[in-house]
Amino acid sequence: MIIQGTPWRFRWRAFEILGITLLTIAGIPSAAFAANRCPPPGTWLDPATGVVPIAEAYAQTAAQETALLGESHDDAEHHRWQLYTLAALRARQPSMVIGFEMFPRRVQPVLDRWVAGKLDDREFLEAVEWDRVWGFDPELYLPLFHFARQNAIPMAALNVDRELVRQVGEAGWEAVPEAQREGVGEAAPATDAYLRSLAEVFAVKQHMSERAPGSRAEMVAPDENAIDAALEDPKFRFFVEAQLTWDRAMAEALLAARQRSGATLAVGVMGAGHVIDGHGVSHQLSDLGLKRVAKLLPVRHGESCERVVPGYVDLAFVLPSVAEPTSYRPRLGVMVGAASAPSGAKVLQVVPDSVAEQAGLHPGDVVTTAAGEDLADQAQLIRVVRRQAPGTWLPLVIQRDGERLELVARFPALEPSR
């Protein structure tokens, strides 16, 4: 995947909004401040004023109505930062509720049972359909869930089922019957800046969809002409409405959780694309009457920070420039969903230059068998891929246009340590 020279904000938001979240790519760079402006790791920084003392950073955040903790979903250090931040906020504001993007609203009773200590890890992950709904390594998130349970902090499910967002993206908000909107209200209109930012992503989405299956894709930031064309595309309005549905749903769920629990502070754990620039969830929270919202994000020392300007976030926490080594996590490089047939996993997106693309998988394929196992659903495919060791081959059976095909996904070997 060629992404050099592409602004970081574009890259992060593009992958999140396009929905390429299951079994996909690792190592998306974090935002950071330029080396000559960036203080040492372990420092809190206000992009507008400079270094903020640690105690002051936590005190300022704990005094808000809502705090949004952004993340890159597969970065272990981001989740470790979230855990430490939650602990510090809890010490300053015991009246707290924590909302998670990772859970759709319908599993709220499961979260309640978890906090009450009625489920173990395995039972909890199965009950929330973790592999099918979210798919990232649960070990990254379990410390956050345990923190909430150990401290009897209510957990709130912020998201909606992807099917709702898909319906809005295909036909628009008005085309979805009210009974199928999961209680989500009409979103506040997008700002002009948000529209243009989303147009960047839409332009890439169009470019990827127009390329020939199996051809090598070059993912680069679109030029101004491509962005202007996206803004005029009739389909772009539905694309925007889908993203606003996502933002509005999480904002409403945070407000409801705060009211239901009586908490003074509602903390939202979510992807950075919903936090940065004040366009996403914070914009919808403001429309709902919650004006005091803190937007927080971890950044890496020494990387380019041209996008991190006043208004980008309220506070940034500086991480070491080099990420800690993480355990091997196999990536097939697809977004998968439920197949229309009784079983199998439907390929919705294929990441350029991924294991999946090299194996010959195309959007629309239905994977029916992996490693000799007949797949009941996409969650089973995720579990099979997670078991894949580096340097091994994974045989797949797929259905494409009524034809049965056999493919082999070849996972790269680990590079020898130096």
- How confident is the model at residue 10, as a pLDDT? 38
Phi/psi-derived region of residue 94, left when phi > 0, alpha when psi is between -120 and 50, beta in every other case: alpha
**Distances in whole angstroms, Cα of residue 83 to Cα of each of 89, 140, 143, 347:** 10, 11, 7, 33
Q: CATH for 8-187+236-319, among 1.10.10.10, 3.30.70.1450, 3.40.50.11550, 3.40.190.10?
A: 3.40.50.11550
Is residue 56 scored above 70 in pLDDT?
A: yes
Rounded mean pLDDT, 208-227 = 66
Is it the case that residue 201 has pLDDT exceeding 90? no
* Chain centroid offset of residue 35 CA: 27
Model confidence at 154: pLDDT above 50:
yes
Confidence of residue 390 (pLDDT cuts 50, 70, 90): confident
What pLDDT was estimated at residue 39? 81
Strand pairing class (293-300; 66-71): parallel
CA-to-CA distance for 64 and 13, rounded, in angstroms?
26
- The structural domains of the chain, with segments of one domain joined by +, span 8-187+236-319, 334-410
Contact criterion met (CB below 8 Å) for 216 and 352: yes
Q: Which amino acid is at 321?
A: S
8-187+236-319 and 334-410: identical CATH topology: no
Is 8's pLDDT higher than 80?
no
Residue with tokens 């080099």: 322
Summarize pLDDT for 321-334 with one digit per residue, the tens. Answer: 876 655 567 888 88
> 29-43, 97-111, 168-182: which has the minimum mean pLDDT?
29-43
Output the CA–CA distances (angstroms, integers) from residue 50 to 102, 198, 296, 301, in the order listed: 32, 29, 15, 14
**pLDDT for 352-367, tens place per residue?**
888 999 999 998 899 9
Point out the least confidently predicted range of 120-124, 322-326, 345-349. Answer: 322-326
State residue 159's pLDDT score: 96
- Are the C-beta atoms of residues 311 and 219 closer than 8 Å to each other? no
Q: CA 16, CA 414: separation in Å to the nearest integer?
A: 27
Residue 23 pLDDT level (bands cut at 50, 70, 90):
very low
CA 158 to chain centroid: 13
Rounded to the nearest angstrom, the gap between the alpha carbon of residue 68 and the centroid of all alpha carbons in its chain is 13
Average pLDDT for residues 227-246, to the nearest whole number?
93
Report whether pLDDT(29) > 60. no
Phi-psi region of 318 (alpha: psi -120 to 50; beta: other; left: phi over 0): beta
CA atoms within 13 A on the CB side of 269: 25
- Mean residue pLDDT of the chain comes to 85
Check residue 335 and give its pLDDT: 79
How much is the pLDDT for 231?
92
Query: For residues 199 and 216, which has the higher predicted lDDT (pLDDT)?
Result: 199
What would the pLDDT profile of 76-116 be if each residue is shown by its tens digit?
999 999 999 999 999 999 999 999 999 999 999 999 999 99
Question: What is the percent of the chain with per-residue pLDDT over 90, rounded to a whole number?
Answer: 56
User: What architecture does CATH give domain 334-410?
Assistant: Roll (2.30)
Range with the lowest mean pLDDT among 59-73, 207-221, 259-273? 207-221
Q: What element of type H or E holds 367?
A: strand 366-370
